[in-house]
Chain A
Amino acid sequence: MRLRQKPRAALAYLALIVPSALILVGFLWLFITSFSIRTEGLRSLGWTLSNWSFLWKSPFGPQYPSIWWVTLNTLVMSLIMTLIVVVVSSMTAYALSRMKFTGRKSFLSLTLILHAFPSVTLLIPIYFVLIWVSKIPVIGRGVPLLGGLGYNTIGGVALVMVAFQLPFGIWVMKGFFDNISWDMERSALIDGASRFRVWWEIMMPNIKPGIAALSIFSFITGWNAYLIPLTFTAGRAGKSAVLSLYLQNFISESVMTEWNAVAAVGLFQLIPVVIFFLFTQQMLLNIYGGGKKGGV
């Protein structure tokens, strides 16, 4: 029996190791390249820290924004986007999962249709919405840190990203709510809890893996967003620049790309995502365990 199981396990490991190794080699190259003057495959032709000099001085000149300012912009945008997506998706999904009301199915279908639209087809209508928002006093252009919620602001970009991410979020969260037994909720309602309290105190703790999953997907989407920030902010080096745009400064159509520096910035861009993943991975792994540990 054991003998028969061993080759099976070995095969399973082999099937896992081969594709994982390919990905790991990619990361290894990224790491080696970011600390190398030049590389031949995975072999460094000389070690250097100069590729990381963007951390303490702008590689393009003193008038370019610091990487830390750009990182702060990206972080603020991604966190705001994640927060709104998670809160709004979970509230909407709860209503769609648990309440019967007219237009429920149509609403669900509509969100799916919205998700099917490629973002590029919606750029012009969104632009007009952002211009309209820009004209609203304070909200448009006067929010500290975010700049506002209008055109050429971090908040405006976050708002657009939220709109694109919400359909996905609603469907994911609805799936999680659908899997929770009615009994717990019914007991709470019989005990006199309000719908909001049931949502917050009973349902939300039971879908933590779902919240974690949606959070990390939303965060990564915001963190790596390119088209929306490119279209709705001014310049790759403006006050609203984000990391994905900043990275493009290294890759130009007509000037030699310094791949070692690109690798370093790419690795730098990866760090917060890895940290975010480390904090949420325990909950993420529970998704496949059937929801909350201890079982619903």
Chain B
Amino acid sequence: MKKLRIRSRIVVVALTVGLLLIGGAISYAQETETITITVRARAKPPMENWRGDNFLLAAEELNADLKTAGDPRRVEIELIQDNMEWGPFLSEFVLGYGAGEAPDIWLTGHEYIGAQAEAGRIIALSEMLKEFPTFNLIIDGLWNSTSYKGKIWGIPQDAEARPLYFNKALLKKLGWSNTEIAALPGKIEKGEFTLYDMLETAKEAAATGVVEIGNGFWTRPKNGPDFTAFYYAFGGETIDSFTGKLVFDRAAGLKYYKFFYDAAQTYGSMGCLGLDWSGAWHPGVSGSKVLFWIGGTWQWAEWAEKFLKEQGGESYMWENFGFGLIPAAEKGGKPNTLTHPMAFLISSQSKYPDLALALIAKVTNYGPNTRHAIASTHLGILKDQTEYKFYKGSRLLSETLYMLDYTTFMPNNPYWGPYSTITYEALAATVGGDFTPQEAVDFVVDGLQRELGDKVIIR
């Protein structure tokens, strides 16, 4: 009897607690509304994971802000982050949008802004930005990369420089002294060491057997933004600031193609086009088989983490690799580099763009951005970030930040894709010896006019 009474009491207590919990949950659900914000990011793991992971921390902060402000909404993040190739990554967004399932926040290359804005898949942010003063921290010049037709469509997420790397050990084999090697970045910056000086050195290295023929100077193995920096170096322009149309400059184009023709045919360089990235290109440059090469600052982390970890990672690299700007085309000219910022875009299908932007504001701050910058060796995007205690800890980031003063961008134009493809096809044919520089220019002019008509200005 006594046992029965105890059991009854336990049952009553359990029921009461259960009812209270259910009641509490219902009451909380009525008071708050949980909203899922989908973030789609492309990141090379583990170096670039902070691109998306920062949002998980940001959501906690935002929820605290919302609670304090008496806003019943709470956010939870659905993060989709992988290292998909750019083509499928773009298709996925377009297909997802067509199905009404575009992510709220899409982190992508800034050059897609033009096409996506024209298609109405992303929203202009110019007005909304005013509500979040954090965005004033972003380096002013970077906004150019996310502007299109006078409006801002994206928030820069990271930046990088694309330096000319050189192998110190190979330069020493060529007879360069430590002082000469240390002075090289400065000479490049002053325009004293030009692109053709680089080719001469590369030729000498190949002739003396320091590197194999073809390995004096390498670019990336496939089409990409780096080539545009060379076209700029020879005085080329890609966009007409007045009309917003794409531009191809014949005279600059001729010099650009002549440089690559000479590099391959006369100076024994450019044995890189068509190589597999991970199978041949990275092992080539990180394995000290190449004297000069164009790469990105982010690749520093990849080499340290993936390719040279056993040799000592960064310390080995500081000993053996150096970097400077992409040299000027002519003596006394201005060297350059190219930055291809990633940008947060907000889909026009997002039901809560204000919350999406609030989350982006949270990750656009010294702490989160520096975490990503250091882990991935991307450059910071915020004013005075070099003064931030933890940013200062990265030697590479500190030593390459000056390059942003010389940086250039690709244009935000919806027709950049075919423009880039045609100009690269001509370059590949020139390097392969199938086109003379003039034939390459003619091919580009014909191709651009055929594909883009009056959407491109030929000068």
Which A residues form the contact surface with B (CB < 8 A)? 59-61, 63-64, 127, 130-131, 134, 150-152, 230-232, 234-239, 248-249, 252-257
How far apart are the CA atoms of A254 and B302 in the complex, in Å?
9
When the two chains form their complex, are residues A237 and B82 in contact, meaning their CB atoms are under 8 A apart?
Answer: yes
Known interface pairs A152-B96, A234-B80, A254-B278. Does A63 touch B101 (Cβ–Cβ under 8 Å)? no
Q: Which residues of chain B are near A134, meaning CB under 8 Å?
A: 99-101
Q: Using Cβ atoms and an 8 Å threshold, which residues of chain B touch A232?
A: 95
- Closest Cβ of chain B: how far from A255's Cβ, in Å? 5
Of B44, B78, B88, B96, the contact of A255 (CB 8 Å cutoff): B44
Minimum distance in angstroms from B80 CB to a CB of chain A: 4
Contact A131 B98 (CB under 8 A): yes
Residue contact B302 to A151, C-beta cutoff 8 Å? no
User: Are B80 and A255 closer than 8 Å at their CB atoms?
Assistant: no
Out of B49, B56, B80, B100, which one reaches A235, CB within 8 Å? Answer: B80
Among the listed B40, B81, B99, B279, which residue makes an inter-chain contact with A130, where contact means beta carbons less than 8 Å apart? B99
* Contact across chains for B88 and A249 when beta carbons are under 8 A apart: no
In angstroms, Cα B337 to Cα A268, docked, is 45
B78 to chain A, nearest CB (A): 8
Task: Tell me whether B278 and A255 are in contact (CB under 8 A).
Answer: yes
Task: Say what secondary structure dominates the interface of chain A.
Answer: loop
- The residue among A134, A256, A257 with the most chain B CB atoms within 10 A of its own CB is A256
* Chain A residue at minimum C-beta to C-beta distance from B55: A63
| In the complex, per-residue mask of B55-94: 1 if CB is within 8 Å of any chain A CB, else 0 | 0100000000000000000000011111111001001100
Identify the 4 closest CB pairs spanning chains A and B, nearest first: A60-B45, A235-B80, A151-B99, A237-B82
Query: Within B261-312, which residues are at the interface with A (CB < 8 Å)?
Result: 277-279, 282, 302, 306-307
Q: Are A255 and B82 in touch, CB under 8 angstroms? A: no
Contacts of B100 in A (CB 8 A): 131, 134
- Cβ-defined partner of B98 (8 Å) among A60, A127, A236, A253: A127
CB–CB B99/A255 < 8 A: no
Contact status of A236 and B278, CB under 8 A, knowing A61-B53, A151-B101, A255-B44: no
Given contacts A63-B81, A255-B278, 5 further A-B contacts (CB under 8 A): A252-B44, A255-B277, A256-B282, A256-B302, A256-B307
Q: Which residues of A contact B453 (CB under 8 A)?
A: none
User: Given that A152-B99, A235-B92 are known contacts, is A253 also in contact with B45, CB under 8 Å in the complex?
Assistant: no
Partner of A234, one of B92, B98, B277, B279: B92
> Are A253's CB and B85's CB within 8 A?
yes
Task: Say if the beta carbon of B52 comes within 8 Å of chain A.
Answer: yes
Give the residues in chain A near B40, CB-CB below 8 Å: 234-235
Q: How far is the CA of A255 from the CA of B44 in the complex (A)?
A: 8
**Chain A residues whose CB sits within 8 angstroms of the CB of B278 once the complex forms:** 252-257
Whether A249 touches B82, Cβ cut-off 8 Å, given contacts A230-B88, A231-B95, A255-B306, is: yes
Kindly provide the distance from the CB of A85 to the nearest chain B CB, expressed in whole angstroms: 25
Distance in Å: Cβ of A233 to nearest Cβ of chain B: 9
Given contacts A61-B53, A63-B52, contact A235 B84 (CB under 8 A): yes
Contact: B79 with A63, CB < 8 Å?
Answer: yes
B49–A255 CB distance below 8 A? no
B133 at the interface (CB under 8 A from A): no
Give B residues with C-beta under 8 Å from A.
40, 44-46, 49, 52-53, 56, 78-85, 88, 91-92, 95-96, 98-101, 103, 277-279, 282, 302, 306-307
**B67 CB to nearest A CB, Å:** 24
Q: Tell me the complex Cα distance, A44–B44, Å.
A: 28
The number of inter-chain residue pairs (CB within 8 angstroms) is: 88
Shortest distance between the CB of B412 and any CB in chain A (Å): 23
Q: Which residues of A contact B279 (CB under 8 A)?
A: 257
20 A–B contacts from the bound complex (CB under 8 Å): A60-B49, A60-B82, A61-B49, A63-B79, A64-B81, A64-B82, A131-B98, A131-B99, A151-B99, A152-B101, A231-B91, A234-B80, A234-B96, A236-B83, A236-B84, A237-B80, A253-B277, A254-B44, A255-B302, A256-B302
Q: Report the separation of the CA atoms of residues A253 and B85 in the bound assembly, to the nearest whole angstrom.
A: 7
Q: How far is the CB of B222 from chain A (nearest CB, A)?
A: 8
Contact between B83 and A63 (Cβ–Cβ < 8 Å)?
A: no
Closest to A233 in B: B92
Contact residues in A for B84 (Cβ distance below 8 Å): 235-236, 248
- Chain B residues in 8 Å Cβ range of A151: 95-96, 99, 101
- Decide: A256 and B80 in contact? CB cutoff 8 A: no
| Complex contacts, B98 vs chain A, CB 8 Å | 127, 131
Report which of B83, B95, B306 forms a contact with A249, defined as CB distance below 8 A.
B83
A76 to B95: give the CA distance in the assembly, Å: 24
Q: How far is the CA of A60 from the CA of B99 in the complex (A)?
A: 28
Closest to B282 in A: A256
Contact of A60 with B306 at beta-carbon distance under 8 Å, contacts A134-B99, A152-B96, A236-B84 already known: no
**A248 neighbours in B (Cβ, 8 Å):** 84
List chain B residues, Cβ under 8 A from A234.
40, 80, 92, 96, 101, 103
Closest B-chain residue to A152, C-beta based?
B101
Chain A residues whose CB sits within 8 angstroms of the CB of B91 once the complex forms? 231
Residues of chain B within 8 A of A131, CB atoms compared = 98-100
Q: Which residues does chain A contribute within 8 Å of B88, judged by CB atoms?
A: 230
Residue of B40, B52, B56, B82 contacting most chain A CB atoms (<10 Å): B82
Closest beta carbon of chain B to A60's beta carbon, Å? 4
Q: How far does the Cβ of B300 sit from chain A's closest Cβ, in whole Å? A: 13
Q: Which residues of B contact A59 (CB under 8 A)?
A: 45
A63 touches B99 (CB 8 A): no
Q: How far is the CA of A236 from the CA of B92 in the complex (A)?
A: 11
| A134-B277 Cα distance, complex, nearest whole Å | 39
B86 nearest CB neighbor, chain A only: A253
Please indicate the chain B residues that have their CB under 8 angstroms from the CB of A231 in the complex.
91, 95
Residues of A near B282 (CB, < 8 A) are 256
Contact assessment for B80 and A61 in the assembled complex, using a CB-CB cutoff below 8 Å: no
Known A64-B45, A235-B92; contact A252-B307, beta-carbon cutoff 8 A: no
| Minimum CB distance partner of B53 in chain A | A63
B302 and A61 within 8 A (CB): no
Give Cα A134 to B79, complex, Å. 22
A249 to B46, CA, bound (A): 12
Q: Are B82 and A254 in contact (CB under 8 A)?
A: no
CB contacts (< 8 Å) of B307 on chain A: these are 256
How many angstroms between the C-alpha atoms of A134 and B83 in the bound complex?
27
Q: Are A236 and B44 in contact (CB under 8 A)?
A: no
Per the bound structure, the CA–CA distance linking A152 and B278 in Å amounts to: 30
In the bound complex, how far is the Cα of B88 from the Cα of A249, in angstroms? 13
Expressed in whole angstroms, the minimum distance between the Cβ of A268 and any Cβ of chain B is 19
Smallest CB separation, B309 vs chain A (Å): 10
User: Which residues of chain A are near B103, meaning CB under 8 Å?
Assistant: 234
* A61 and B46 contact, CB distance less than 8 A: yes
Query: How far, in Å, is B108 (CB) from chain A's closest CB?
Result: 13
